[in-house]
Amino acid sequence: MAKRSSSGKKSTIRDRVIETTLSLIAEKGFRATLVEDVIKACGVTEAEFYHEFDGLLSVLVAASRHLNAAMMDAIADFEEDDSTRERLFALVMARFDAATPWRAAIRELARSAPTNPVLAATAGQALMTMSARALRLAGVRVSGPFGFARVNGFMLAVLLPTARIWLQDESADLSKTMAALNEALDRAERLMDYSRPFCTPFGGSASSAEPAPVSSPKPVNKTENAAASGQ
């Protein structure tokens, strides 16, 4: 008889550790939450925990990847004629929707980050990754000489201001968050107008994010050149 795969068990342990970690952070704060607390609370062994994670920060990175996956699910609802802005709005809101059950923990992490350089660096990298993923899924090029500027600009001008509102938005439909995101995208569009040669405008169609095809040079007609030189 073939052995049953253990992947389902591993997935269950991984998910349980993530949920337990964020619950404890929401309850006790990041500084007071220890790996030992997580192991005890979710009923896994130390070996099982460290088989999946290196520590609490790696649990947070895994949680961020889980939220990024929610953006991947959102692209199934895209229409071909959706603008880049419309796609960015849908992608960011999909992530905020998925993160809502963890909002209390994320609020505690935001409070702790300014006094914890390692946590701040981990959170910053996660936000950069999320920003790059959202732009790429919306059709904006994030590679090349201006790729970093686009990603960093989106994080600072759109994602962070909206996240501050989301952290305090207790409305069932996240209406305040949606309004803040629209306002942030408006500001980003105005900024893009000043740097249009370098950055893809958010208001354009997603297809406009692709580079324009380069036309081939017109072949030289040697007969015409010879006739012209003889005149």
Per-residue pLDDT tens digits of the chain, which is 231 residues long: 333 344 445 568 999 999 999 999 999 999 999 999 999 999 999 999 999 999 999 999 999 999 999 999 999 889 989 999 999 999 999 999 999 999 999 999 999 999 999 999 999 999 999 999 999 999 999 988 888 999 999 999 999 999 999 999 999 999 999 999 999 999 888 776 544 444 444 544 454 444 433 334 444 454 444 444 444
Residue 83's φ and ψ, nearest 5 degrees, are -75, 165
What's the CA gap between 21 and 88, in Å, rounded? 29
Query: What domain range is 175 assigned to?
Result: 57-203
The span from the CA of 39 to the CA of 51, in Å, is: 12
How many structural domains compose the chain?
A: 1
Q: Map tokens 């059950």 to a residue.
A: 101
| Residue 191 belongs to some domain of the structure | yes
Question: What is the predicted pLDDT for the residue at 146?
Answer: 86
Residue 197 within any structural domain of the chain? yes
Q: Which long-range contacts (CB under 8 A, 24 or more apart) does 136-139 make?
A: 137/71, 137/72, 137/74, 137/75, 137/87, 137/91, 138/84, 138/87, 138/88, 138/91, 138/206, 138/209, 139/84, 139/87, 139/200, 139/206, 139/207, 139/208, 139/209, 139/210
pLDDT of residue 97: 96
- What pLDDT is attached to residue 188? 85
Does residue 21 fall inside a structural domain?
Answer: no
Q: Is residue 139 part of a domain?
A: yes
Residue 10 lies in a domain: no
Rounded CA gap, 70 and 94, in Å? 6
Whether 129 maps to a domain, the answer reads: yes
Residue 49, in any domain of the structure: no
Torsion of CA 128, 133, 134, 136, to 10 degrees: 120
Model-wide pTM > 0.75: yes
Listed in sequence order, the residues at least 6 apart from 84 whose beta carbon sits closer than 8 Å to its beta carbon are 138, 139, 140, 200, 201, 202, 203, 204, 205, 206, 208, 209
Quickly list H helices, the chain. Answer: 7-28, 35-42, 46-52, 56-74, 84-99, 103-112, 117-138, 147-154, 160-168, 175-194, 222-230
Whether 202 contacts 82, CB under 8 Å: no
Phi then psi for 205, rounded to 5 degrees?
Answer: -70, 155
Give me the residue label for tokens 């099982």.
48
- Would 183 be classed as within a structural domain? yes
